[in-house]
C-alpha cells in the first residue's frame, strides 16, 4: 500500500475507528494530536503524538500544536522534484502521505455562545493549514475532510493499494470548499456580532443541469442551498432519460407543497408557476371533468394519485405528471409523453426566503400565517400565500381555482379568475373568495355581490379601506381577516 504515514486530527470522529484501524493494521504510521490520540489509543490503535514527532510540545493552551516545518515539509514536498528530495534529506523530513482532519462547524458553535473570547478559541489554525497543504499537494498526499469518504478511500486502497488521482482531486476540492465555508462562517459570525457592516455568505450544491433556462438557447444549472432541504430532495424522475426545465420545476414546486399539506386526496394543475385549479377529495365525476378539460391544454403539470387519471394522460401534451403513491409497473412510465415524477410528501419549514432576479438578491425572514379554516379553505389559503400579489382564489365545496395578476391590481385578478372558471365551465356563484391583499375598490365589492359570495378571507385592511369591508358586511358577507398580511412580492 502506498500510504505509509498519516496525520489524523479530527473534531468529528464519525467512522474514524474503522478507518484508523484499517490504516493501522496495514502498517500505516499514524501521527495525531492529543485529543485524537487518546481516542484512538482507547480503541487499541497505536499513534505517535504530534509533539513527539516534531520534537516540540503543544504550547499556549493548545493554540500551537501542528504548525511546524516538519509537518508542512512532509506534506508539501513533491515526490518528482529533486530539490524537494534534497531538502527532505538535509532537514530530516519524513514524507506524509495522508491528512485526515475536520473542525467544528462555526454555525453550530455560535448557537452555544456569542462570547467573543470563546468564539476566538474555536477558530482552528493548525489542522486547517495541514488540510489545505495536503489539498494543494493532492498528487502526493490524500486529504480527507469528510467522514463519509473514509469507506471510499478504504475500498480503493484494498483494490489497488493507492488512491487514484481523480479521487485525490475530488477530495482536495472538498477540502478547499470546506475551508472556504469555514472561513466564510467565521467572517459572517463576527460581522453580525461585532461589526457595523453586515456580511452574509451562502453556499450552493450543484444538483445537475436543466434542459434549458428561460429559452432553448440558454444553458441552466440546478442548485440548492448547501445543507438545506429542498423539494428536489424528495422528487424522483421516473422518466430519467428526460431533463426538466425551470418552468416545469416551478409548477412541480407548487404542487409538491400543496400535495404535502393535503391529508386527503388532491388533484391539481399548475402552469407557468401558477396554480390554476384543482380539487380536494375529488369525486369520480370531477376527475372525469378534470381530465376532459385539461386534455385540451398544452403544457403545465398535473398532480394526482389516481392511477387511472395518470394512464388517461399518458399521451397528453402536458409537461409532467406527479404522483406520490406506488406505481406497480414503473417501466411503463418511461414510454409516457409527459415527464413523470414521484414525490415523497414532505412539509418543508423555511426560516428565510430568497427572491432572485438577475443580479438582484433579496433575503428576508419567512413569516407564515395560520388560520382556523376547513381543509379545502386551508389549502386554498396556501395557494393565495404562494403566489405573488395580486392573487384571488375561489373556493366552492372541494374546488379551488385561482386568478393571478401581479402587474396592476386585484380587479384584473378577479377578471382572470372568472375567465379561468369559464374555461373549466364553472360559474362563480356563492362559494368563498380568498384575497392576498385588502379589498380596495367599489368594483371588487360589486363583483363579490354579483357572484353571491358568502365569505371572504382577506388580510387586515389598510387605512381608508375599511369602508369596503363595511359594505360587504352590510350585504351579509362573512369576513375573516388575518392578523398579518401574507402576500408575496
What's 282's domain CATH number? 3.40.140.20
Q: 181-190, 255-264, 401-410, 454-463: which has the highest mean pLDDT?
A: 255-264
Same domain, 166 and 256: no
Residue 94 lies in a domain: yes
Q: How much of the chain exceeds pLDDT 70, in percent?
A: 99
Question: Of 162, 194, 226, which residue is a domain's last?
Answer: 194
pLDDT single digits (tens) 97-126: 999 999 887 777 888 887 888 888 888 888
Residue 359 lies in a domain: no
* Alpha-helical regions (H) of 354-475: 375-386, 410-423, 442-450, 466-474
At residue 30, the pLDDT reads: 94
pLDDT single digits (tens) 333-348: 888 999 999 999 999 9
Helix then strand then coil, in percent of the chain rounded to 5, is: 40, 20, 40
Q: Is pLDDT of 489 > 70?
A: no
Same domain, 216 and 181: no
Torsion angles phi and psi, residue 375, rounded to 5: -60, -45
Please state the rounded mean pLDDT for residues 259-279. 95
Antiparallel, parallel or unpaired: β 399-404 and 274-280:
antiparallel
At residue 409, the pLDDT reads: 82
- pTM as predicted: 0.78
Same domain, 380 and 292: no
- What are the grid coordinates assigned to 240, written together? 430519467
Please state the rounded mean pLDDT for residues 50-54. 86
Higher pLDDT, 261 or 487: 261
Same domain, 119 and 241: no
At residue 329, the pLDDT reads: 81
Confidence of residue 447 (pLDDT cuts 50, 70, 90): very high
- Please tell me the distance from the alpha carbon of residue 109 to that of residue 119, in angstroms, as a whole number: 8
Contact (CB, 8 A) for 395 and 380 = yes
Mean pLDDT is lowest, of 167-171, 269-273, 416-420, 443-447, for 416-420
Same domain, 323 and 398: no
pLDDT single digits (tens) 388-398: 778 899 999 99
- What are the grid coordinates assigned to 469, written together? 369591508
Whole-Å CA distances, 432 to 56, 411, 461, 477, 483: 78, 16, 18, 10, 19
Q: Is pLDDT of 434 > 80?
A: yes
Residue 489 lies in a domain: no
- Please tell me the distance from the alpha carbon of residue 184 to that of residue 195, in angstroms, as a whole number: 15
- Please tell me the distance from the alpha carbon of residue 375 to that of residue 266, in angstroms, as a whole number: 11
Same domain, 242 and 388: no
Same domain, 12 and 76: yes
Contact (CB, 8 A) for 49 and 42 = no
- CATH code where residue 39 lies: 3.40.50.1380
Confidence of residue 21 (pLDDT cuts 50, 70, 90): very high
The CA-CA-CA angle for residues 160, 163, 166, to 5°, reads: 120
Mean pLDDT is lowest, of 142-146, 349-353, 383-387, 464-468, for 349-353
Please state the rounded mean pLDDT for residues 435-442. 90
- Please tell me the distance from the alpha carbon of residue 46 to that of residue 65, in angstroms, as a whole number: 19
Sign of CA dihedral 225, 230, 233, 239: negative
pLDDT single digits (tens) 140-180: 999 999 999 999 999 999 988 899 999 999 999 999 999 98
Q: Give the domain extent around 264.
A: 205-343
Residue 259 lies in a domain: yes
Same domain, 218 and 134: no
Same domain, 311 and 458: no
Residue 76 lies in a domain: yes
Q: Is pLDDT of 259 > 70?
A: yes
At residue 282, the pLDDT reads: 95
Q: Exposed, middle or buried, 261 (CB in 10 Å: 0-12/13-18/19+)?
A: middle
Residue 209 lies in a domain: yes
**Mean pLDDT taken over the chain:** 89
Q: How much of the chain exceeds pLDDT 90, in percent?
A: 53
Same domain, 135 and 49: yes
Q: Is pLDDT of 257 > 90?
A: yes
- Please tell me the distance from the alpha carbon of residue 373 to that of residue 375, in angstroms, as a whole number: 7
Residue 356 lies in a domain: no
- Please tell me the distance from the alpha carbon of residue 448 to that of residue 433, in angstroms, as a whole number: 8
Q: Is pLDDT of 406 > 90?
A: no
DSSP calls for 148-164: GGHHHHHHHHHHHSS--
Whole-Å CA distances, 482 to 180, 267, 314, 409: 44, 27, 42, 20
At residue 390, the pLDDT reads: 83
Confidence of residue 67 (pLDDT cuts 50, 70, 90): confident
Same domain, 453 and 477: yes
Residue 360 lies in a domain: no
Confidence of residue 371 (pLDDT cuts 50, 70, 90): confident
Domain count along the chain: 3
3-state secondary structure of 131: helix
- Please tell me the distance from the alpha carbon of residue 80 to that of residue 184, in angstroms, as a whole number: 35
Same domain, 190 and 213: no
Which H/E stretch holds residue 438?
none
Amino acid at each position: 500500500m502506498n500510504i505509509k504515514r498519516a496525520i489524523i486530527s479530527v473534531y468529528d470522529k464519525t467512522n474514524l475507528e474503522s478507518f484508523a484501524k484499517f490504516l493501522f493494521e496495514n502498517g500505516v504510521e499514524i501521527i495525531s494530536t492529543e485529543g485524537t490520540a487518546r481516542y484512538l489509543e482507547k480503541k487499541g490503535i497505536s499513534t505517535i503524538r504530534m509533539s513527539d514527532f516534531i520534537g516540540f510540545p503543544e504550547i499556549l493552551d493548545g493554540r500551537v500544536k501542528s504548525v511546524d516545518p516538519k509537518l508542512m515539509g512532509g506534506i508539501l514536498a513533491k515526490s518528482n522534484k529533486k530539490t524537494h528530495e534534497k531538502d527532505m534529506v538535509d532537514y530530516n523530513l519524513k514524507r506524509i502521505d495522508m491528512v485526515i482532519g475536520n473542525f467544528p462547524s462555526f454555525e453550530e458553535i455560535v448557537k452555544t455562545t456569542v462570547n467573543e473570547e470563546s468564539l476566538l478559541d474555536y477558530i482552528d489554525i493548525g489542522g486547517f493549514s495541514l488540510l489545505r497543504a495536503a489539498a494543494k499537494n493532492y498528487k502526493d498526499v490524500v486529504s480527507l475532510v469528510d467522514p463519509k469518504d473514509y469507506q471510499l478511500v478504504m475500498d480503493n486502497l484494498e483494490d489497488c493499494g493507492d488512491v487514484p488521482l481523480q479521487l485525490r482531486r475530488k477530495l482536495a476540492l472538498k477540502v478547499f470548499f470546506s475551508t472556504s465555508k469555514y472561513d466564510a462562517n467565521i467572517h459572517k459570525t463576527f460581522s453580525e456580532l461585532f461589526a457595523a457592516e453586515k456580511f452574509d455568505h451562502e453556499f450552493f450544491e450543484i444538483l445537475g443541469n436543466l434542459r434549458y433556462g428561460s429559452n432553448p438557447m440558454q444553458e441552466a444549472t440546478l442548485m440548492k442551498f448547501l445543507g438545506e432541504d429542498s423539494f428536489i430532495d424528495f422528487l424522483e424522475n421516473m422518466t430519467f432519460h428526460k431533463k426538466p426545465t425551470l418552468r416545469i420545476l416551478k409548477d412541480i414546486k407548487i404542487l409538491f407543497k400543496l400535495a404535502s399539506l393535503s391529508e386527503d386526496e388532491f388533484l391539481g394543475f399548475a402552469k407557468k408557476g401558477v396554480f390554476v385549479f384543482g380539487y380536494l377529495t375529488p369525486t369520480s365525476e370531477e376527475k372525469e371533468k378534470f381530465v376532459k378539460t385539461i386534455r385540451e391544454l398544452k403544457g403545465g403539470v398535473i398532480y394526482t394519485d389516481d392511477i387511472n387519471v395518470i394512464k388517461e394522460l399518458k399521451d397528453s401534451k402536458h409537461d409532467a405528471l406527479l404522483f406520490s403513491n406506488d406505481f406497480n409497473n414503473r417501466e411503463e412510465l418511461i414510454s409516457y409523453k409527459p415527464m413523470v415524477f414521484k414525490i415523497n410528501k414532505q412539509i418543508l419549514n423555511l426560516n428565510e426566503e430568497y427572491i432572485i432576479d438577475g443580479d438582484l438578491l433579496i433575503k428576508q425572514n419567512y413569516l407564515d400565517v395560520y388560520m382556523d379554516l376547513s381543509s379545502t379553505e386551508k389549502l386554498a389559503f396556501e395557494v393565495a400565500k404562494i403566489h405573488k400579489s395580486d392573487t384571488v382564489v375561489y373556493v366552492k365545496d372541494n374546488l379551488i381555482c385561482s386568478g393571478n395578476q401581479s402587474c396592476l391590481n386585484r380587479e384584473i385578478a378577479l377578471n382572470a379568475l372568472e375567465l379561468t372558471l369559464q374555461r373549466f365551465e364553472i360559474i362563480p356563484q356563492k362559494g368563498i373568495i380568498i384575497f392576498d391583499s385588502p379589498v380596495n375598490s367599489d368594483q371588487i365589492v360589486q363583483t363579490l355581490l354579483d357572484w353571491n359570495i358568502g365569505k371572504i378571507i382577506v388580510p387586515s385592511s389598510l387605512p381608508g379601506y375599511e369602508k369596503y369591508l363595511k359594505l360587504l358586511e352590510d350585504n351579509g358577507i362573512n369576513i375573516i381577516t388575518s392578523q398579518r398580511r401574507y402576500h408575496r412580492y
